[in-house]
Structure 1
């Protein structure tokens, strides 16, 4: 076996080691389309600075804070989706590397067996002295017996040719497996860097939001919470006033009921970006796990759920369907009926029930279409 072929063993070992490294390293890809627009850098809080003679914080000031927090948490959600997509791809790539490593090992074993058989055939030929058939016929004491044996020799030669061809194919397969493993590793390494970038962005946006909120006094935080509730209430009221609820009459499928039951059981658990339970969830972690529990695997991120699952009209939605929010599909919730949803809202919040129209609806998708 030449140096190039010997190198295949090293590749097999390398790809197996690479998979081990994945436990510590991340991976990622660019955020799936639609691409969110950049948000401005967080402005200074209109709230008073500790130690300064503070003027009363007006409702207008708090409304500005609310909008800024929405922007920061929105961008954190987009970055979280990118992180989650990268993690999902990393799992797929690591599984592919493991499969290729197994193929390389099996290919090496097969090649060793083929070489053993080829060696046995060569040894048999050596025992006959390597003489051509004509010479063996002339030297044979029993020409008839030789001719009978000659037929078997021809069959053996054909088998040897087949053996050589199989060895060649096996070597070619090993080379392809090695090339595929190398390509998968390159993708994994690139995604690891992209995932790290997405993680930094998530942390940056959340930190900025937390710092902004930390500058508010207790009374101001309470007023801010009321503003958030009022904004959600007004959006929900406008949605209901459209008469849409009179048109939504769909009944949950059996799988949909299971998904809703799972999501409902998570009420009160904290939001955590990148989390898929059981102790905490992000928005798409909750919906994907609920449907996994119901027996249907769906994409991990809200953007991929929007892209890959069947779209249905809002009037046709039924409990268990997923509502995708915002123009960039950055948030997802589960419809549970009567105009309500269950979702994991954002950092600092818990899994909760809210109005289906409290946020701008992009689409409704059905996992069990």
Structure 2
């Protein structure tokens, strides 16, 4: 963003938007205006109040932003922290800030923005939500946007087939954020919405993009639910969903590189769980190594997808340790248990890792 006099950073919470205004110089707070553009196209002036708390909320997000963002915001003075009450997030499309009703106060970047809280079409999904680097970096804000879009897409019969992959994409993001936040209401929403979303898998057309691949959508959805069931300690549901991931690609040709991350994770989770619950088999761990080989052999034009091999390698490393323990017995139980730290889950928080380890060990 080119240098401007005033910029903003914001996060969403259940009933509020928290915003910090940064500026090159101070201005009277009564000059600040806030408006909300609704999904139906109407615009309303919004009430807000100056409060101290949002500064801490927003600052935590800024601290996690990319270095250029942090450095640029540090060149501004921190002028105002405001709270904007929100009755229903699902009606909100944009939050706008102005000075003296005319001068726009833009959000600094998408990573700290409260614009596009609801997106309307494929172009907006690609530009403002599908990719992690283009979303608000705050997990709860991202969860609200994901839920907004699921609400807007509505029931199966109302979904344009071209948008089905984005509905699944939103659901997967929301499921992971619900687990990361350990948010009971979001987790309940995910479980209630699963049937409708799973019905959309058949609508996804096959194309060049990973979001135009019914198999990719199927394994992404099943892996997200695998995490949900680990979080809730539901063994049967965990086995069912992880099994869906594995079976989806068992005889699949060609094998896309992007399959490897979820498939190797599902395989190693199932194999480790069975090992610690009296049903372990060496062949199950060999399957993870096979997935590594299939992933390395797959071709891609997207450099970012090659980076995902790091996670496949991490899962294969754990599997190889278990194979070694079966064959030679020279890997101690303590080493095997410690190796679970190297498994690469899709929710990489300390809290979830502890929960996952406890779940696998029984």
Q: TM-score, normalised by structure 2?
A: 0.21
Larger radius of gyration between Structure 1 and Structure 2: 1
Bigger fraction of residues in strand = 2
Q: TM-score, normalised by structure 1?
A: 0.21
Bigger fraction of residues in helix = 1
Of structures 1 and 2, the one scoring higher in RCO (CA 8 A, sep 6+) is 1
